[in-house]
Amino acid sequence: MKKILYIFAAAALLAACNDGFLDKKPLDKLSEEAVFNSDALAESFINAIYTVLPDPFTEGNTGCISDEGFFRYGGTSTRYIADGSMTPSSIIPQDEGGPAHNTRTTFLNIWNRAYEYIYRLNYFLRYVNEKGSAMTEEGKKRLCGEAYFLRAWAYTNLIERYGGVVLVDKPFDDLSAEFVDVRSNFDDCVDFINADLDKAYDMLPEKGATALGRVHKDCVLALRSRLTLIVASPLFNDPSFPEGGIFRGAYSKDKWQKAYDAAKAICDRADVDGAYALDDTYDGFWRDEYSPEIIWGKYFVQSSGQPHKAQLFYSLMDFGGGGWESFNPTQAMWLDYEMKNGKKIFEEGSGYDPLRPFKNRDPRFEHCIIYPTKIYKWTDKDGGQNETELQLYLLYENTELADFDNGKPEPSTSKKASDQIHLTNTGGSGLTKWYMPDKYISESLIGNVVYPWFRLGEMYLNLAEAAYNLGKEDECRTYLNKVRSRADVMMPNVTDGGTALWDEVVNERRIELAFESFRYFDTRRLKIATTYENVPFAGMRTCLLQKGSKTDTIYRCVQPADKVNKNRNYYWTNTGESAAYIGSNNGRNVAYLVNYVWKGKTYTVDYGEACLTISPTQKWFPNSSRNNYPEAGKITCTNTPGVENPEDYPNYLMPIPQTEIDKTQKRIVQNPGYVY
């Protein structure tokens, strides 16, 4: 069996530090001599830095602050971000003196963490390159290559969140008196990262010449593809605001060519060299650590003591009923899964049936989302295999649909708690992407084997997007259709051109990369967050009717407005619903009619048929006036990049932690819109 690098977050050689990012202390002299003159100890030191970006297997992960999902208990981890109340102080974690939860976290604020790890990398590179390490030349070359890659990885994740950041390429104890802790321009940061990637590529081994999980040359190609796509995108490369600076780069069409070239380089490793291939099954890249699709992944052993990971699957754990919940997919998310014939549910000829909303959907829907009455498999603690029906419904006996038309009272929401197995579920559906039905999971046990940081499906979509923006529509369709033609997916080929093709590009990323921590960043880099991120959180209520041998299941969920029948509402009701709004969000009305522009036509979807009075505070993507919540029917979601100045919308970029602003006496400039 191949060697696999298993990363453990609590590495002894990388102690956490709660000071500001310039307040780090070096290793002592004994540690230097022991660690940096031994291949084995130096490798352990670098191993610990692989966790610079934690995996997203947490209950309050990044998907819960996007339009993919929500986390009911995310008051200090997700909800304050999703509802537009994020501030430079609210993002500081508790272990750094702030209010944000330490483990129920999105890992969106990585500022202090990233600079802690960058410091360690700089210290390693300085010692090994300048002090004459006794390591072998082979070990020194490989580990320095890993260090340059991990520094590029850290800075890529920083600029994606914050724009231009402080560039540091040496240990802080070596900084000259002239050093000024100020943010560099965005383009200068990109040049710095590319220089590190060049060094890493020259030093790293080929794929297969190192342990599974360690970085190699193809990881450099994959990271460059992701980096150049970010850099070329409208948020950072906007023809309407062509000047460069800290918050964005100078506009250049050539940045799309660089994104294309970078994506082509890693895709050719699959299509020309045969180094990678799409997995035959959509769940293969998370269930098989040897999946041919994985370029670089984080590997796990099934272990206890990691409850924040197991809790991602709260609603599916063997609790014998009454379990908690974590990630709830939104109605907005599953709305965008096409029907098997390639049409959205609101398109003519889709075949969508509101009484059977999950039938004949894109097969990836079944891999990702579990819904009431669906049978799912699970493993008990003794290794036994079981099948269970997801009972997220109100059982209403001696009733059929006609009884409601004849005047029988509708089900009462007060019966929810007594009739649902999973008592606290507020969304009516659950997440099954990443779920391992053949592994036992509990509050303290994780069953996952791998999280793919880079996989071929993403690279194909990167190439499709870059090709579209260069006018290469045939090539764009080719790579979209590669992804859609996975053996167990086989969705119809995309044949559109023009803006309809662009809609397919954006939607295919949404579906193929669902729940992989892309959507939050995609809506921002594409400048489409101002609409999509104002679509309300919406859940689903299900009523199971049984009368004699007949059983009907009624789902209360989103549907095209022209199919809504207000006179026959036999779904769970919420008193006080009106034709325009449902509920209130800190004084802001929550709109339930949402317009979707899809392939040149506008369709209206009625979220009033879903459940909007769920526990989380409703979504809001604020502008600088923080008073822009749209009226009912005024949300128009489009994949065309907005023309607004992103600097008027604070949530396009993360705020830099207030502690860092204060410690540098405001030499570090705060991102626009954060005035707290």
Q: Which residues contact 651 (CB under 8 A, 6 or more apart)?
A: 81, 84, 86, 524, 529, 533, 621, 622, 673
pLDDT at 266 over 80: yes
DSSP class per residue in 590-655: EE-EEEEEETTEEEEEEGGGSB---SSPPP----TTS--PPPTT-EEE-SSPP-S-GGG-GGGSPP
**Beta 385-389 vs 375-379: how paired, if at all?**
antiparallel
Residue 19's pLDDT is 47
Q: Which residues contact 612 (CB under 8 A, 6 or more apart)?
A: 536, 537, 538, 539, 574, 582, 583, 590, 592, 618
pLDDT at 598 over 90: yes
**Beta 581-585 vs 635-637: how paired, if at all?**
unpaired
Angle between helices 254-271 and 456-469 (to 10 degrees): 140
**Centroid of chain to Cα 351:** 30
Q: What is the C-alpha end-to-end distance of the chain, expressed in Å? A: 54
The string of pLDDT tens digits covering residues 551-584 is 888 887 888 887 665 554 444 443 333 322 333 4
The string of pLDDT tens digits covering residues 226-247 is 999 999 999 999 999 999 999 9
Residue 309's pLDDT is 59
Within the chain, how many helices (H) and strands (E) appear? 20, 17
The string of pLDDT tens digits covering residues 186-240 is 999 999 999 999 999 999 999 999 999 999 999 999 999 999 999 999 999 999 9
Of 64-68, 253-257, 429-433, 528-532, give the lowest mean pLDDT range: 429-433
Q: Are 99 and 90 a contacting pair, CB within 8 Å?
A: yes
**Residue 586 region, left (φ>0) first, then alpha (ψ -120 to 50), else beta?**
left
Domains of the chain: 13-52+110-204 (1.25.40.890), 321-432+531-668 (no CATH)
Q: Which helix (H) or strand (E) holds 584?
A: strand 581-585
Q: Pick from 223, 228, 216, 255: which is nearest to 239 by CA?
A: 255
Q: Mean pLDDT throughout 4-19?
A: 47
Mean per-residue pLDDT over the chain, rounded: 85
Residue 665's pLDDT is 87
Query: 62 phi and psi, to 5 degrees?
Result: -60, -30
Whole-model pTM: value is 0.92
The string of pLDDT tens digits covering residues 608-617 is 777 776 656 7
Q: Are 336 and 72 a contacting pair, CB within 8 Å?
A: no
Q: Are 432 and 388 a contacting pair, CB within 8 Å?
A: no
Distances (CA, A) of 622 to 140, 198, 652: 49, 39, 10
CB count, 10 Å around CB of 43?
18
